[in-house]
Amino acid sequence: MSIQKPKGTQDILPGVVEKWQYIEEKARDVCRRFNYKEIRTPIFETTELFQRGVGETTDIVEKEMYTFPDKADRSMTLRPEGTAGVVRAYVENKLYGEPDVSKLYYIGPMFRYEQPQAGRYRQFHQFGIEAIGATDPALDAEVIAMGYLFYKEIGLKGVTVEINSVGNPSCRAVYREELQKFFAPVKDKLCKDCQSRYDRNPMRILDCKKDQEYGVGAPSILDFLDEECTTHFAKVQRHLTDMGIEYVINPRMVRGLDYYTHTAFEYKAAGIGAIDTISGGGRYNGLVGTIGGSAIDRPGVGFGLGLERVLLVLEAQGVDVQGVLPLDAYVIGMGEAAENEATRLLFELRAAGLSAEKDYLGRKMKAQMKSADRFAARFTVIIGEDELSRGTAMVKTMATGEQEEVPLANVAAAIAAKRGN
Ligand code: HAM
């Protein structure tokens, strides 16, 4: 049997990859305007980074990591998310020594051993941003606004923003106890996962699809926030309102990672089967300290947006994003001497900044014209024996059928001029 790709992975082929490139360009452009700079960190890190950073009680660390020993028997893990690696790099490269907030972004593959379904893969791609070094609620709002604008600019409709505050460790400790009290009478009826969450991370019970009925009437975290958390959350909301960004407060939102403090948020949209959360993020004061030591603790906030989910929702909404890019020129030489000239001219066109192609399969003129059509060539350049003897080529504008005989030395300039730039 032929070898197949691993379960939960995808081949992104030409014809579709152009959509990815379009979305990635939009992401980079938003980052440029918000003054976020790209960071590239390793695809694999030591396992300990994620155990400490993402949290031992999360689904990710408990059951979804691609962990393996390297040849020297060190435990390594394919990154299941981007924040822990960025924070490690921030610490290791002493970015905390810089005078400004570190505003970083990344686009790349992440890996989680999950049960694949529409919108859920084992290798998926995130566009993520992290702003590390300030507690200012304006940064929380900026991060939320940036994701909102990104979705808007790529043409995604019906995206709603949900926000919550998950407090700081001290108000969360009180809330945890309240939740345990609330769930105690039904503890035995909860699903197996939630029975173990009860002791270790009861907030996650609120997030469980199977146990929704038992969560009805559960206390709200917002009633347990201390003054600092309440003020922070109010300021985030004020900034969002000032920016004209509509949001919904969802006090039951629990993100699947342990590092969040204060603001947590998710973007939701319909269009991907059972999944309606298209991305999310939040503030993580304390994570830098967890990874780098309390002496250099710095607050941070960020998001991670799944790119597969963007494409799925765009498709469901019938939004046509960039498809195959047209070719500027398809060059056809008839007869050996003209073919040699075509090969030379092709290089000249490419060096002049045009995208150009020829036939490599010895096909007849008609088949070559079809090939030019498949590549959506805007011009075909035909060199027959007559043209060759005159030192010219016939440049045909495919859209109009108009033809012009042009000296070989002027073909690149003629196409650039006709193309309109
Ligand atoms: P997360 O909620 O675990 O957060 O993942 C963020 C997004 O990545 C999800 O909303 C989804 O779009 C995408 N995603 C996650 N798992 C999969 C999967 N198996 N298949 C397809 N897409 C997936 C984080 O990863 C945090 N690091 C976000 C963050 C950054 N928080 C602060 N800074």
Distance CA 302, CA 131 (A): 6
For the segment 272-331, what is each residue's pLDDT rounded down to a tens digit?
Answer: 988 899 999 999 999 999 999 999 999 999 999 999 999 999 999 999 887 778 999 999
Ligand 1 center–CA 81 separation, angstroms: 7
The pLDDT, as a whole number, for residue 38 is 98
The pLDDT, as a whole number, for residue 321 is 84
User: Is the CB of 58 within 6 Å of ligand 1?
Assistant: no
Ligand 1 center–CA 273 separation, angstroms: 17
Instruction: Give domain 17-168+226-316's CATH architecture.
Output: 2-Layer Sandwich (3.30)
User: Is the CB of 53 within 6 Å of ligand 1?
Assistant: no
Is 96 one of the annotated binding-site residues?
no
The CATH code that applies to domain 329-420 is 3.40.50.800
- Among 107-111, 119-123, 269-273, 343-347, name the one with the lowest average pLDDT: 269-273
With 90 as the cut, is the pLDDT of residue 222 above it? yes
Can you tell me which residue has the tokens 């700079």? 37
With 90 as the cut, is the pLDDT of residue 200 above it? no
Q: What is the mean pLDDT of residues 358-385?
A: 96
User: Is the CB of 304 within 6 Å of ligand 1?
Assistant: yes
Is 255 one of the annotated binding-site residues?
yes
With 60 as the cut, is the pLDDT of residue 104 above it? yes
The pLDDT, as a whole number, for residue 212 is 86
The pLDDT, as a whole number, for residue 148 is 97
* Domain definitions of the chain by residue range: 17-168+226-316, 329-420
User: Is the CB of 279 within 6 Å of ligand 1?
Assistant: yes
Identify any residues that bridge with 268 across adjacent strands, giving them in sequence order: 160, 277
For residue 193, count other CB atoms closer than 10 A to its CB.
16
Protein residue with its CA nearest to atom 14 in ligand 1: 306
User: Is the CB of 59 within 6 Å of ligand 1?
Assistant: no
The pLDDT, as a whole number, for residue 421 is 57
Q: What is the mean pLDDT of residues 101-109?
A: 98
Query: 394 and 365 in contact (C-beta within 8 Å)?
Result: no
* DSSP 8-class letter at 111: E
Protein residue with its CA nearest to atom 4 in ligand 1: 304
User: Is the CB of 299 within 6 Å of ligand 1?
Assistant: no
The pLDDT, as a whole number, for residue 381 is 98
For the segment 327-357, what is each residue's pLDDT rounded down to a tens digit?
Answer: 999 999 999 999 999 999 999 999 999 999 9
With 80 as the cut, is the pLDDT of residue 185 above it? yes
Among 257, 307, 313, say which to mutate for ligand 1: greatest number of ligand atoms within 8 Å of CB.
Answer: 257
Is 128 one of the annotated binding-site residues?
no
Is 130 one of the annotated binding-site residues?
yes
With 70 as the cut, is the pLDDT of residue 58 above it? yes
Per-residue pLDDT band for 193 (boundaries 50, 70, 90) equals confident
Q: What string of H, E and C letters represents the secondary structure of 31-84?
A: HHHHCCEECCCCCEEEHHHHHHHCCCCCHHHHHHCCEEECCCCCEEEECCCCHH
Q: Which atom of ligand 1 is nearest to the CA of 121?
A: 20
Pairing between β-strand 75-78 and β-strand 67-69 as defined by DSSP bridges: antiparallel
pTM: 0.93
With 90 as the cut, is the pLDDT of residue 390 above it? yes
Q: Please provide the average confidence, as pLDDT, over all residues in the chain.
A: 95
User: Is the CB of 302 within 6 Å of ligand 1?
Assistant: yes
Distance CA 228, CA 20 (A): 41
